[in-house]
Structure 1
């Protein structure tokens, strides 16, 4: 008997004249038994070609047949085994919500190995058609894509079906910093007894631009009064089990920020007021938090935002200002003052300079007039004009309205 060619496998001719062949493509996830796929053709060559195509398609598969695993089953496995160990609890809960309410209803019944780009595109389009925002559609897509890339690593699928999907165009909102009058009204209102506990928080936000979660996660040991700096070491997050203290959002989020002396002075006053309130309190959770609840506990970021919204309304500000808007305000003021984008990135704790530039490029003072002035000064055969330097200074200097200072009480 002639030896079968390499890769030919179990190919033989049946009694009815057809040729048949089989190839092992993996193991059943539950039983562990080998899974074999059969091919048929009118010639031996036809079966060999079908077999070779299948081997290439399932190259590297070692454990289970993705044709039997649904998208729903894989997503739940991915959330339990992988996502749970790599993201914070509130992020995991966000993933679970997206999976349960948007991805599974659209794609859950599809077999993982047969998921197509047009089906994913249909999910994205359906979210938009039902009134969902472009951000919701993009986030739903991102969660699915992250799970599918893990499936690629597991060798459950051989291609990434998300590559051909078109996402909705991002709609950037113009970031408008607060005016002097708005800051004055905000701080004046926060200085009133009913909002007094927010005053130091507002001033610290003005001086640092830290995230809401970072502000509420601050502990007194994180503030170095001698050096005049605040270290970001924790973040307060909202979960279904209540507020929790967690790690900062990313490695770049761990940072130490010098703060203006006026802000430090107010923090010292805030600490003294807090100590007096602690002595009078019947019960106090000694968590050493800078901005705790009335009983010393960790504030829920969502509850804090509602308090801030009441403050904004009381201050007469009607622009829809959120606490996150104060972070944008801080960044736009830095750019207006001519600060380098890298320094702004470090101060905000952005993971990449790309994020900083994409968000705030429009806030940077135009350099085009300065470029034109320099070109004019270097025209061949022309002597530099005496007023060139003055023209450049005028073109790049921020306006007086752009650089704002808070009016303190």
Structure 2
């Protein structure tokens, strides 16, 4: 039978009672509405008096320290819709917008969408992670899901919508970095020779000898090639909207958001000059049908951008012809980095040329090359000893 006795908190700021349904309720006075003058109250519920007392004590502490935040009654799904519309769509790149939309639709809403924002716990987030693991989702996919959720909830904390971010302490499975497979010197020679007759020879050579990403190579414009000073400005990339029927577009900036200027070896400048002449002939042949609106260096016969899948298919055919059927276009970039490090380029130069955010990332990614560098350093020490100390 319900206990009708009411317990009051200090200074009359709250009271605890047992409801007719058996649950316990605490009511706190939050102050008075500045417009109407009416008293503002907060009700807290629990299964036992002890539970409610604990919750009330915490709320009183928050009120005393000015850290109290009223519970947001929206579901996580409702909050994500608002956050996505107000903070992601106006500020992010199309590729990021499409990616976030997919994560919210396919993972966050089905697993956590019905939970009220104010009730979301780390345990619930961790349960979602476990569910995704059991469903066979890749660690990188799970990491992306948590990245989106964490970003959304951090914004809620900044806006004082919630006190803490429950996704912050969720554990994710380790993301295994894929092994890289740079081409050997002999394979580089064979690849260059096999690619010479390909219509995609020039962009492939830019990937190999400048270390460009595919989107950077296919997004390279003639206005960013300085033939006189032997430099290229890498400041944009060709991207495609991930939505169904999405169109190609030029994205300003690179993967890490920063542009970079690269020195171009003479032989590659000659390849680019030949490509420019080839494109001029194609433009004259196409006449009014010419469509190179972005002034790209690498286009098809009508001036349209090259589809990355087309570049990939041609690369795979060339690679297979020299006995490398599993090679990827991105391996050309890895080859460039490995060659630079093994041949003695300093780490900061390689980092800058590749457009990595930090030298630590470059070192971690190409640890095999750094091992070769350390061995070469030891050999130089040995040579110095043999030539100078040992003879003394």
TM-score range, shorter chain: 0.7 to 0.9
Counterpart check, 1:121 vs 2:123: no
Report the 3-state secondary structure (helix = DSSP H, G, I; strand = E; otherwise coil) of the residue aligned with 2:177: coil
1:39 offset after TM fit, Å?
4.7
Structure 1 length-normalised TM = 0.77
Alignment check: 8 A CA contact 1:252 1:346 kept: no
Alignment correspondent of 1:344: 350
Determine if the alignment matches structure 1 residue 65 to structure 2 residue 71. yes
Q: How many angstroms apart in 1 are the aligned matches of 2:290 and 2:40?
A: 62
Structure 1 residue matching 2:268: 3-state secondary structure: helix
Q: Please tell me whether residue 225 in structure 1 is matched to residue 227 in structure 2.
A: yes
- Kindly state the Cα deviation for residue 10 of structure 1 after the two structures are TM-superposed: 6.0
Alignment-derived partner of residue 236 in structure 1: 238
Change (3 A) 1:160 1:231: same
Cα pair distance change 1:228/1:35, threshold 3 Å: farther
Matched, 1:361 2:370: no
Aligned-partner Cα distance in 2 for 1:34–1:199: 76
| CA apart distance, 1:118 | 2.1
The equivalent of 1:272 in structure 2 is 277
Aligned to 1:403: none
The equivalent of 2:312 in structure 1 is 305
Q: 1:373 to 1:234 in 2, by over 3 A?
A: closer
Structure 1 366/191 Cα, relative in aligned 2: closer, same or farther at 3 Å?
Answer: closer
Name the CA shift for 1:61/1:370 in 2 (closer, same or farther; >3 Å). Answer: same
Cα deviation per residue 1:129-180 (whole Å; 9 max; x = unaligned)?
Answer: 2222111111111111111111111112211222332221232333231023
Equivalent residue of 1:85, what SS?
coil
Is the contact between residue 178 and residue 329 of structure 1 (CA under 8 Å) also seen in structure 2? yes
Q: Please give the per-residue CA displacement for 1:190-223, whole angstroms capped at 9, x wherever unaligned.
A: 222xx32x11111122221011111111110100
Say if 1:232 and 1:254, in contact at 8 Å, map to a contact too: yes
Report if aligned partners of 1:23, 1:38 keep a CA contact under 8 Å in 2: no
Q: Distance in 2 between matches of 1:358 and 1:225?
A: 34
- Structure 2: how far apart are the matches of 1:356 and 1:218? 23
Structure 1 unmatched runs, 5+: 28-32, 378-383, 391-409
1:232-272 CA distance string (max 9 Å, x none): 12111110331111112356630110011100011001100
- Distance (Å, rounded) in 2 between the aligned partners of 1:252 and 1:336: 28
Asked whether the equivalents of residues 151 and 157 of structure 1 are also in contact (C-alpha less than 8 Å), the reply is yes
Q: 1:246-285, aligned counterparts within 5 Å? A: 246-249=251-254, 253-282=258-287, 283-285=289-291
Gaps of 5+ in 2: 1-8
> Which among 333, 336, 339 is matched to residue 339 of structure 2?
333
Partners of 2:45 and 2:175 in 1: how far apart?
Answer: 49
Contact 1:238 1:301 in 2 (8 A): no
Aligned to 1:155: 160
CA distance in 2, matches of 1:151, 1:82: 11
Over aligned residue pairs, what C-alpha RMSD do you find?
3.7
Give the TM-score, by structure 2 length: 0.80
Listed one character per residue, the Cα deviations across residues 18-53 of structure 1 (whole Å, up to 9, x for unaligned) are: 99632459x9xxxxx998422589xxxx98975451
* Structure-2 separation of matches of 1:185 and 1:109: 57
Aligned mates of 1:204, 1:160 — CA distance in 2:
44
Matched, 1:135 2:153: no
User: Is residue 213 of structure 2 the alignment partner of residue 208 of structure 1?
Assistant: no
- For 1:367 and 1:317, how far apart are their aligned partners in 2? 29
Preserved contact between residue 209 and residue 330 of structure 1 (Cα < 8 Å): yes
**Kept in 2: contact 1:24–1:35 (CA 8 A):** yes
Of 294-303 and 344-353, more deviation after overlay is shown by: 294-303
* Post-superposition offset of 1:367: 2.6
| Separation (CA, whole Å) in 2 of partners of 1:252 and 1:81 | 21
